[in-house]
Structure 1
């Protein structure tokens, strides 16, 4: 029997080859990359913008200090021209989990995961909903052309924060003469907002913020969100009722260059919040290219097919067995479960429900399906 491969995978980007090696070459040729000695350490991708530019971070000695302290750097890699640009050098070593740059390359937004402030007793402080957390998320905004001020957005949460600049096709966003930059900020389970930042010109090509940003709340209390950087759309799931058994509402919000954002679609879908997500503190996977804000147990993906059709792919949670009350060791390899998923085809108003049977429970709870468009 002859088999034909359905998919042909090819490497389109390699952080070690395309970033780390180029940084080493530029360093040896005398170009200032912010790295003094050796190969830049721990190169890690943080995100990607609409034009394909890749944002990444690495740890190395600061070029602005004399004490050889290793700090975090943020760089921009242009895949077409294969050019690396150092955008920002932090004053210390931090755990960067999200990053975005405006189309003019003048403002940089980023989120860190840091230790929570300690109380007078020396233990981590209490945060939202009375929970005791050792790690919190904080978001910042930095002027990078020229390198100037860094602003703390005064947002600290146990739940994940994401910042994302809006980009346009024409000159409305992507020109140094632009009078304003716009940045989404998402606080998981709390709100979706939009910063409007007025800009003023500095020198020939520099830009800085003038005045306080204007903020706008777009939505509240969402459970899941995904940013589509190619189409400049935000998809999110929310519950109208505070009940884990109630259906989710799916919303598609379109952003424009010269007009306010518009809700393009709002529809109820048979996606339910797993009980453990609603009752326990959220846990997150910091996946650099996913552009999602969600608990890692809520597995959902929005796909747009080449013809414009919109689909929601949802992997159902593995429910806890009612007849097991002991330790995890009591749930043996012969406890068999099914992996179920649904594809909601919104353009047709139909749903496809699928089941893959016969998985050991201890194996199934660690399986995560990945969805992507194959053909129309």
Structure 2
């Protein structure tokens, strides 16, 4: 299963055995059967404590509390009557208990859904110790109760209680308490509790336990409007936000009231299936499912923090007889799980929802969840928590890392591969294992993805994952993916994207979640400002073309690029001072240093433009970390693949033929080179030398030369020097050397020929020496020679030079004035002289 379930609480395991008097009551007798049948969960509070109720042997109704931290059960209160408990809540100090119940009438079945058939009483009870009782409401409609929970470091001078009525209003009661005689707690204002009207005329409401927020929907001008009220530890409450919803509600849905997270019934109507999920990073999503028709299920997710919604239509098989198609929405923070038992499981990415390839769509066996029942009695609670109301089991839910890896390895669809890859690299807190497994998969199947490059996605996503936790304000300024667009459809699913209205804030002084949400909305309002590597391509090509131009090198801009590149490479040398398996970081690659410096300069400009409040030192550090970690990620791929192919402490030897593992490593490095060229990101120093040496060992000569001619293999000074030194001048080796040397530029040859003890290199050295002396001689004699003096006045110890000078003097007599129109080309004269010198000397 893709989702991993853990049992956080089980009524039978954690409560029932203790209620049976430590085992003195056998589970088979009438008393134990009655307790087992009536035992159910009523409420889960913010701190995880669970309120449950059961009926005792004499018809008493008990309310208990289970503490998951201490694994301890306690009885909070006992009613000496048979009651239908609708809702319970206890304050953080565990001094006050609010209870709403229906008095049981003769003939009522306790297992039927609760119906407002008799008078509903809502009580406020002092339970520390058990003392006074106050009636808050006595009405015919059902009432839910919910204590507010302040932060753990702040204690209310008074407790605050929400009353949610099915008459479509919500009130807040303020209860001031006083401690007497050490531990005795009494309600001070028991006569008339002050109260506020929080909301009214709503058709749907949801309580957010963690954020202490109330979301509710009202109908205004015939259109639904979502509002949110925030409760604070140190003040009352404020209505912070409202947003119009682009959903159509039927008359039935308008008449019915739906309450979420205000208590648990064993069966709930699936009409008006709406949920709101707020993430810690400032994401706000509204999920809504329509009644299914025929073989289609339709649901919509409005990404309110991004300003658009996606409506999915899913084609499903015929469900089992009598099974309602109730879609379950579950908050997993980074993802929203959408589950239809026996049909599909979708994981919708809430942080990067724009492309479908970042969402996981599973059907059949892949979507099977054996833990959950097929009937709709499962409810989402806190983030990553589900409650099975029928069995009384509370589950913790998370994405299974091993299952996700299997999905990545076995999937044949690029959309699933990319979604799984993205999830593995960005979802889990400790991604060390995920990164190693993804690199293993890339090594095995690097060429199997047709619509995206897995190495590029690994580099960009992993780099995003490493930088963002340290600098959350960069989440919208740095790229999270290498995929610019995605137009490939998902079989069995259609998706429509609609632009929706952005939420409107009604308060200016906001913090925490609301500040993050507001920042994200400001980002949506204006043009996107994400840094993209590919925008550097044109500047990089221009910079390379200017490398040999002295006046360009002397510019301040170019010197700035070189200094930034030097800073990053120096930082890498310090970071990688320990012994590495892969022999990189052992030479200087001037072109790669230029690219490193260019990225640094452009990234710092980008951050300065969009984060003007950050100091220069902070921006410099962020840019340095970003580029350094990028290079280290490339090395991480090399290290992982190197160990995978058991190359060990491989030395720089070009003698002999490469093994199969070396060829596999060469293939991985070739794919890395292609990926980095496509992204326009630099390679670590020494990468191209290692790549070329593996190519020389593993490739046939014609393939090697083809790779060199097409730029796949970049010849480096270190590699060519080792080639000329390490290999003897036997037939095949000499052919290899000649093939390499003829492809080198002249400036390159001047550096590497002294390392080759061969007549060809000696000839080249002699020719270069002649050229150098000739240039010097020509400069000295220019303007001093006259037409009558054609004898050689300077004799040198180097005989080819004497012959060449004499020949040039003779040729000069046969040409006209060099400043006239048809003069002899100087380059032609030089080439002719050098060629004849070679022939006469037999070189």
* 1:274-302, Cα deviation, whole Å (9 max, x unpaired): 312445x6698998459xxx964211111
1:350 aligns with 308
Q: Match of 1:186, SS? A: strand
- Distance change (3 Å), C-alpha of 1:362 and 1:135: farther
**Alpha-carbon distance, 1:15 to partner:** 0.9
Which of 127, 130, 146 aligns to 1:147? It is 130
SS in 1 for 2:199: strand
By how many angstroms is 1:23 displaced?
Answer: 3.2
SS of structure 1 residue aligned to 2:271: coil
Matches within 5 A, 1:326-341: 336-341=294-299
Change (3 A) 1:84 1:165: same
Cα distance, 1:349–1:135 mapped onto 2, change above 3 Å: farther
TM-score by length of 2: 0.35
> Which of 185-194 and 80-89 deviates more?
185-194
TM, length-normalised to structure 1: 0.74
**Secondary structure, counterpart of 2:85 in structure 1:** strand
What residue number does 1:180 align with?
158
Q: Pick from 57, 60, 85: which aligns with 2:56?
A: 60
Please list, as runs of the form range in 1=range in 2, the aligned pairs for 1:152-231 lying within 5 A after superposition.
152-158=135-141, 160-173=142-155, 179-211=157-189, 212-231=192-211
CA distance in 2, matches of 1:297, 1:249: 18
Alpha-carbon offset, residue 270 of structure 1? 2.0
- The structural deviation recorded for 1:240 is 2.0
Q: 1:263 to 1:364 in 2, by over 3 A?
A: farther
Q: Is the 8 A contact 2:82 2:103 kept in 1?
A: no
1:262 to 228, 238, 256: 238
Q: 1:84 and 2:62 equivalent?
A: no
Structure 2 counterpart of 1:234: 214
Instruction: Map 1:100-139 to 2 at 5 A.
Output: 100-114=89-103, 134-135=117-118, 137-139=120-122
Secondary structure, counterpart of 1:297 in structure 2: coil
Answer whether contact 1:189 1:222 (CA < 8 A) is retained: no
Distance in 1 between the 2:273 and 2:318 partners? 19
How far apart are the structure 2 equivalents of 1:278 and 1:115?
Answer: 30
- Is the Cα–Cα contact under 8 Å of residues 318 and 364 in structure 1 kept in the other structure? no
Aligned mates of 1:157, 1:361 — CA distance in 2: 38
Cα distance in 2 for partners of 1:372, 1:164 equals: 22
CA–CA distance in 1 between the matches of 2:205 and 2:257?
A: 14
**Distance of aligned partners of 1:265 and 1:363 in 2 relative to their CA distance in 1, 3 Å threshold:** farther
**Structure 1 154/98 Cα, relative in aligned 2: closer, same or farther at 3 Å?**
closer
Counterpart-to-counterpart distance in 2, 1:202 and 1:368? 51
Deviation at 1:200, TM superposition (A): 1.9
Contact 2:207/2:261 (<8 A) preserved = no
Distance in 1, matches of 2:179 and 2:84, equals 32
Are 2:229 and 1:271 aligned?
A: no
Q: Distance in 1 between matches of 2:262 and 2:179?
A: 35
Partner of 2:547: none
Select the residue among 318, 328, 331 that pairs with 1:370. Answer: 328
Q: Distance in 2 between matches of 1:161 and 1:133?
A: 10
Q: Which residue is equivalent to 2:808?
A: none
Residue 61 of structure 2 contacts residue 80 of structure 2 at CA under 8 Å; is this kept in 1? Answer: yes
Indicate the SS of the match to 1:18.
Answer: helix
- Residue deviations 1:307-333 (CA, integer Å, cap 9, x gap): 2311111011358xxxxxxxxxxxxxx
Summarize the Cα distance change of 1:306–1:285 in structure 2 as closer, same or farther, 3 Å threshold.
closer
Which of 241, 249, 271 aligns to 1:297? It is 271
Contact 1:188 1:221 in 2 (8 A): no
CA contact (8 A) 1:339 1:364 kept: no
SS state at 2:252 partner? helix
SS of 1:20's equivalent? Answer: helix
Contact 1:166 1:183 survives alignment (8 Å): yes
Residues 66 and 73 of structure 2 are in contact (CA less than 8 Å); yes or no, is this contact kept in structure 1? yes
1:59–1:93 contact (8 Å) kept in structure 2:
yes
Deviations 1:226-266 (A, max 9, x none): 1111111111111124xxxx221111211111112122211
Flag the 1:284–1:308 CA change in 2: closer, same or farther, 3 A. Answer: closer
Secondary structure, aligned partner of 2:6: coil
Which whole-Å CA distance do the structure 2 matches of 1:364 and 1:287 have between them?
Answer: 28
Number of matched pairs: 314
Mark the CA change 1:153 to 1:271 in structure 2 (over 3 Å): closer, same or farther.
Answer: farther
- Structure 2: any 5+ residue segments left out of the alignment? 25-30, 106-114, 335-350, 352-843
Instruction: Sort the Cα spacing of 1:49 and 1:108 in 2 relative to 1 into closer, same or farther, 3 A.
Output: same
C-alpha distance in 2 between matches for 1:188 and 1:237: 14
Q: Summarize deviations over 1:196-248 as a string: whole Å, max 9, x none.
A: 0111223211212122210100111111111111111111111124xxxx221
- The answer as to whether partners of 1:165 and 1:181 remain within 8 angstroms in 2 is yes
Deviation at 1:80, TM superposition (A): 1.1
2:2 to 6, 17, 20: 6
Question: Secondary structure of the equivalent of 2:17?
Answer: helix
Cα 1:138–1:338 change in 2 (3 A) is: farther
Displacement of 1:354 after TM fit?
0.7
C-alpha displacement at 1:157, in angstroms?
Answer: 3.4
Q: Select the structure of larger CA radius of gyration.
A: 2
For 1:287 and 1:181, how far apart are their aligned partners in 2? 18
1:316 aligns with 290
Cα-to-partner distance string for 1:50-94 (whole Å, 9 max, x where unaligned): 111110001114xxxxxxx32110011001100111110012111
Seen in structure 2, the aligned counterparts of structure 1 residues 296 and 213 have a Cα distance that, compared at 3 Å, is farther
Against the structure 1 CA distance between its residues 80 and 133, is the aligned structure 2 distance closer, same or farther, given a 3 Å change threshold?
A: closer
Are 1:43 and 1:57, in contact at CA under 8 Å, matched by a contact in 2? yes
